């Protein structure tokens, strides 16, 4: 019977060692996996915001082809995107045009008087259409998101390290 006891003792030791190794693996792997989750979420937010910028660029192009000019847009007036693209706009002759884009609920901040188009971090999407102020897309519009930090260099809007825009290749 002593041989049977030794086998059982060896089996018990292997089971305990296996359980301990699984627990140690879980303790050390959890922070590693948790970090990847945050990176994936950040990448998804950036990708979704870049897609929104691309949709807005297409809608602004359709607006420009219809009206023969871009809607007025500056860094100081973020509500103009929804006003001119997301609803019907009166034009000459009592007609209306639009909407040129249908915004998803999470792409709008409706807590203010006029809805503002926002990126996935809740910061306004900005577009500049004044030819004197357009820096990157001459003859077009500059569209950008302030990115996760919500800030952009005052002397060069849309060029911050985490800013997303319509003039640099997708990151």
For residue 22, give the CATH number of its domain.
Answer: 3.30.700.10
Q: For the chain, how many structural domains are there in total? A: 1
The answer as to whether 23 is a domain residue is yes
**Closest of 154, 155, 131 to residue 142, by C-alpha:** 131
Residue 52 in domain: yes
pLDDT of 120 reads: 92
114 in a structural domain: yes
Strands 142-145 and 164-165 come out as antiparallel
Per-residue pLDDT of the chain (171 residues; tens, 9 = 90+): 566 666 778 888 889 899 988 888 887 777 666 666 667 677 888 899 999 999 999 999 999 998 888 888 766 677 788 888 888 888 888 888 889 999 988 898 888 777 889 999 999 998 888 888 888 888 889 999 989 998 888 888 888 888 999 987 654
In a domain, 63, yes or no: yes
- Residue holding tokens 């849309």? 158
Q: What does the pLDDT read at residue 34?
A: 66
Distance CA 164, CA 171 (A): 8
Q: Where are the alpha helices (DSSP H) in the chain?
A: 2-67, 80-85
Q: What pLDDT does 51 receive?
A: 94
Residue 56, pLDDT score = 94
Please give the Cα distance from 126 to 123 (Å, whole number).
Answer: 9
CB atoms within 10 A of CB 59: 20
Residues pairing with 126 in the sheet: 144
Position 139 in a domain: yes
Structural domain contains residue 22: yes
Specify if 170 maps to a domain.
no
Query: What is the per-residue pLDDT for 90?
Result: 85
Answer whether residue 171 is part of any domain.
no
* Whole-angstrom distance, CA of residue 32 vs CA of residue 7: 38
CB-CB neighbours of 49 under 10 Å: 24
Determine phi and psi for 107, rounding to 5 degrees.
-95, 5
Whether 119 and 109 have beta carbons less than 8 Å apart is answered as no
Query: What domain range includes position 17?
Result: 2-165
CA 151 to CA 159: how far, in whole Å? 10
């Amino acid at each position: 019977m002593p041989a049977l006891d030794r086998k059982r003792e060896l089996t018990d030791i292997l089971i305990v060692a296996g359980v301990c190794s699984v627990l140690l693996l879980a303790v050390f792997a959890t922070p590693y996996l948790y970090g990847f989750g945050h990176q994936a979420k950040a990448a998804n937010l950036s990708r979704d915001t870049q897609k929104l910028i691309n949709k807005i660029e297409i809608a602004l192009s359709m607006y420009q082809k219809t009206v023969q000019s871009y809607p007025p847009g500056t860094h100081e007036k973020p509500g103009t995107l929804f006003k001119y693209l997301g609803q019907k706009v009166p034009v000459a002759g009592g007609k209306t045009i639009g909407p040129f884009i249908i915004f998803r609920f999470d792409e709008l901040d409706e807590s203010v008087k006029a809805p503002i188009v926002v990126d996935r971090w809740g910061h306004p999407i900005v577009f500049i259409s004044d030819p004197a102020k357009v820096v990157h897309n001459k003859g077009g519009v500059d569209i950008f998101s302030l990115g996760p930090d919500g800030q952009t260099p005052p002397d060069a809007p849309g060029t911050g390290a985490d800013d997303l825009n319509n003039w640099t290749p997708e990151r």
